[in-house]
Amino acid sequence: MSNLFTNFLGGNNWVRFLFSVIILVITPNFEYICQQRNYFYTNKKYGSEALFNPISLLLNGAYDVTQLQSVTNNIHDPEFSKKAKVVFRNLSHPIESIRNYGTEKFLKGEFLPLSWEKGNMQWIPNYQNHLIGGGMLYTAMKEWYREHNFPEPWIWSAATLMTQHLLNEIYESGAHEGWSVDEVSDIYIFDLGGIILFSFDSVNEFFSETLNYSDWSLQATVTAPHGRVHAGQYFSLKWKLPFSEDYSLFYRYGMGGVAGLSKAINEEDNLSVGIGFRTKHLIDVGPYRQRTIETGWQVGFFYDRNNSLMTSVIFSGIKEYFCTIDVYPGILMIGDFSPGLWTVIGRNGNTMIGLSTRYVLSIGYEFGAN
């Protein structure tokens, strides 16, 4: 793996040039940014923010794709090395990957929001998850490192985010796949673009204050006895309706999405409800990892405090995820100790449960596993 990474950076002058340009663009903002207030991570001891740290970010981001039926969610993937070679090969030859895929198709389906053809609408998750979601997580992770007194927190954050992105691409890849532009557009355009975009104060202010944009990821857990990973990266936003003091438009997305309304209970607490779809699995519709999705319905109920998710109940038409319940730290109290709890109940006879704390890695157990 180390040789692959060395070849990836060391053998491509244009890649080194690209990274140099990015550093030159965003470096002038770092000294200023390091002095500003926090936007997305404020060291809350409750809710989803209480569980936000580099380990949970890596697990939720890297294993997010394993929520799909067609992708193994075992912590040990025997084909990891083969998948990594595929990803790094495509990243090492981005121009050749794009030419094989088709430059016009790449621009319309991956880069610009111009295509609505089945299997050629990858620009939707590219903008939602990678550019905006990844950019926000860059700022939040930088704020986490700064709160914990790490030197040069932007470097630690960028390294953490790019590691997570690379792992996600590897788990999403196939061990014997050919050329693909998926990781090329994700890593080089949208993941790096998100870091640049959210290096500016005005962007962070808009998403944190106007849209109440937040990380509502799952309580990342490795479950016994089969070593399966329960993880997923989710984002939420609440845009206050101009004609109401209490109601906001609500959208929560990740592996699917739900949209609806949010109502303010008081100055801190909000109740939200949304209905939408959940992604079931990816379907190949062409070469070069050209895919579309098969979905099922889902409806969710959410309670948050200051944009930190406290509890959620989600029902879906996906048999493995018929009912998912998350209770984050801050609801259940045992003296000064407040754990988080979660359960996933499937219509296939499987049930998973887990316990999380803000101090150690979450633990879980799976019943009725196939």
Quote the pLDDT of residue 103: 85
pTM for this model (two decimals): 0.87
> Quick check: 141 pLDDT over 60?
yes
- HEC string of the chain equals CHHHHHHHHHCCHHHHHHHHHHHHHHHHHHHHHCCCCCCCCCCCCCHHHHCCCHHHHHHHHHCHHHHCCCCCCECCCCCHHHHHHHHHHHHHCHHHHHHHHCHHHHHHHHHCCCCCCCCCCCHHHHHHHHHHHHHHHHHHHHHHHHHCCCCCHHHHHHHHHHHHHHHHHHHHCCCCCCCCCHHHHHHHHHHHHHHHHCCCHHHHHHHHHHCCCEECCCCCEEEECCCEEECCCCEEEEEECCCCCCEEEEEEEECEEEEEEEEECCCCEEEEEEEEEEEEEEEEEECCCEEEEEEEEEEEEEEEECCEEEEEEEEECCHHHCEEEEECCCCCCECCECCEEEEEECCCCCEEEEEECCCCCEEEEEECCC
Quote the pLDDT of residue 24: 52
pLDDT single digits (tens) 85-109: 989 988 999 988 888 888 888 888 7
> Quick check: 118 pLDDT over 70?
no
Say which range, 46-50, 176-180, 308-312, has the weakest mean pLDDT. 176-180
Of residues 279 and 54, the one with the higher pLDDT is: 54
